[in-house]
């Protein structure tokens, strides 16, 4: 019988709460109790509440109330300290790869994937059946000791003959059988924090009728740990440089223009193209390419609930760095119209007109039995640099006050710089 050694040392494990805290049934109620305790009569109780809130980790950010004038001065200060500490921890955690510690021989792949998912918070699914491939159980032998997620996955996939299917759904990594001709992922992958890069193709093109139009195009794939939800990757051309093996600097075409790589919904991988002027024929390879991407990421999703809907107007609720305003609820012919505005404290460029993620946020009515009524249609009601508005139309029987309006949205948007470096790419 194979022996298994399973040690949990992942990034989120380091931020986990004590066992007693982890057994709390309702995190929101626990946070509310501790926030109230920040204003306790005893200094020891106030300090204990601040310490316990901080120990719960970044997952409580969505439940922390926004400091307001109704709070005592010290309560506001302590709450703000907790928020700043957890936001810093969350941002720092996002920049680091999760880690895997797991060893054993001839282990069922399904069990190994389940353990990696448990340690890292990354959802991994066997997608072979969905694409019509054989689904026989595979076994693997692994020895991961605090191994970064992507390095562990590449080793695992190379051993089992699997690879990544990039369109298996948002928030998960889908695995399928690899083509036999593919090079080992461990040989081609470039790792940078929670991101993985892989150069896929170099194409040289020369126009025989003109000196113009000659170029060298690099095609590069970028993927990320599925716990992250990027909505766009941005490549500043002034943060990109390359040299050939003769020491010559490659000239980047369209220099001075930032390249934006949109992320397709339900995907876990994007492809980016970088064009250079065609290098000298004497050059045999690109010796080095250095770049820095900016990843625009959505934070953990939180849920807002609005009751007493009939005639509701300008009802404001906040969680984390997001504010949702129930602007109004009214009759619109045979339907009920629910109009909201979503606003972020730090929006970066998340609400630019070409970004549609905010209109994919779940929004529905819920009756007393917990049954959902989905909206029939939605319309945009405007955007600003930090907000977007939407009107949802519901066709329901009965009184709107028999329902609760539920809206789910990320609690924050943040920007993550991702550096990468490629070496020794053979020229065509």
pLDDT in tens, 45-100: 999 999 999 999 888 887 888 777 889 999 999 998 998 888 777 777 777 899 99
Rounded-to-integer distance, Cα 235 and Cα 52, Å: 40
CB 403 within 8 A of CB 343: no
pLDDT in tens, 98-143: 999 999 999 999 999 999 999 999 999 999 999 999 888 899 999 9
Query: Residue 119 phi/psi, 5° resolution?
Result: -75, -35
User: Which residue matches tokens 């009107």?
Assistant: 391
What pTM did the predictor assign?
0.79
For each of the domains in the chain, give its residue range(s) and CATH number, in order of start: 5-95 (no CATH), 99-181 (3.55.50.30), 192-299+415-426 (2.60.40.1640), 301-411 (2.60.40)
Helix, strand, coil shares of the chain as percentages rounded to 5? 25, 40, 35
Residue 13: pLDDT band (50, 70, 90) is very low
Rounded-to-integer distance, Cα 17 and Cα 8, Å: 14
pLDDT at residue 5, as a whole number: 36
Rounded-to-integer distance, Cα 148 and Cα 195, Å: 11
DSSP 3-state of 288? strand
Return the DSSP state at 93: H
Rounded-to-integer distance, Cα 351 and Cα 231, Å: 11
pLDDT in tens, 18-40: 333 344 347 889 999 999 999 99
Where does 251-309 have alpha helices with state H?
none
Sign of CA dihedral 301, 304, 305, 309: negative
DSSP 3-state of 25? coil
pLDDT in tens, 228-249: 889 999 988 888 999 999 999 9
Rounded-to-integer distance, Cα 38 and Cα 44, Å: 10
């Amino acid at each position: 019988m194979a022996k298994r050694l399973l040690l949990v040392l992942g990034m989120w494990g380091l931020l986990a709460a004590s066992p007693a805290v982890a057994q709390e049934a309702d995190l929101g109620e626990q946070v509310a109790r501790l926030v109230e305790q920040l204003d306790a009569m005893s200094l020891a109780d106030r300090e204990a509440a601040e310490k316990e809130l901080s120990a719960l980790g970044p997952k409580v950010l969505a439940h922390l109330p926004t400091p307001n004038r109704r709070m005592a001065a010290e309560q506001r200060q302590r709450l703000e300290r907790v928020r700043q500490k957890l936001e810093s921890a969350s941002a720092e955690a996002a920049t680091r790869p999760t880690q895997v510690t797991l060893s054993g021989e001839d282990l069922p792949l399904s069990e190994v994937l389940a353990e990696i998912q448990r340690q890292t918070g990354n959802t991994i699914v066997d997608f072979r059946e969905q694409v019509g491939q054989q689904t026989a159980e595979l076994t693997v032998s692994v020895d991961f000791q605090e191994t970064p997620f992507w390095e562990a996955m590449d080793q695992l996939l190379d051993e089992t003959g699997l690879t990544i299917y990039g369109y298996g759904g948002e928030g998960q990594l889908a695995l399928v059988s690899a083509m036999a001709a593919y090079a080992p992922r461990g040989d081609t992958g470039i790792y940078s924090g929670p991101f993985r890069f892989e150069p896929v193709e170099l194409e040289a093109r020369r126009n025989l009728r003109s000196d113009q139009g000659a170029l060298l195009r690099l095609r590069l794939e970028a993927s990320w740990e599925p716990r992250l939800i990027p909505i766009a990757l941005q490549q500043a051309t002034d943060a990109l440089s390359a040299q050939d093996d003769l020491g010559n600097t490659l000239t980047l075409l369209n220099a001075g223009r930032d390249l934006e790589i949109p992320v397709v919904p339900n995907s876990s991988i994007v492809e980016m193209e970088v064009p250079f002027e065609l290098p000298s024929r004497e050059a045999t390879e690109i010796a080095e390419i250095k770049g820095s991407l900016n990843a625009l990421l959505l934070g953990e999703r939180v849920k807002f609930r609005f009751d007493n809907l009939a005639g509701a107007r300008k009802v404001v609720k906040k969680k984390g760095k997001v504010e949702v305003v129930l602007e109004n609820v009214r009759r619109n012919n045979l339907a009920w119209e629910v109009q909201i505005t979503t606003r972020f404290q730090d929006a970066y460029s998340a609400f630019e007109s070409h970004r549609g993620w905010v209109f994919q946020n779940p929004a529905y009515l819920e009756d007393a039995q917990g049954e959902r009524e989905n909206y029939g249609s939605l319309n945009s009601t405007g955007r600003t640099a930090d907000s977007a508005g939407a009107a949802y139309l519901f066709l329901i029987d009965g009184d709107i006050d028999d329902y609760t309006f539920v809206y789910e949205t990320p609690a924050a948007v943040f920007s993550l710089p991702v550096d990468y470096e490629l070496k020794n790419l053979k020229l065509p």
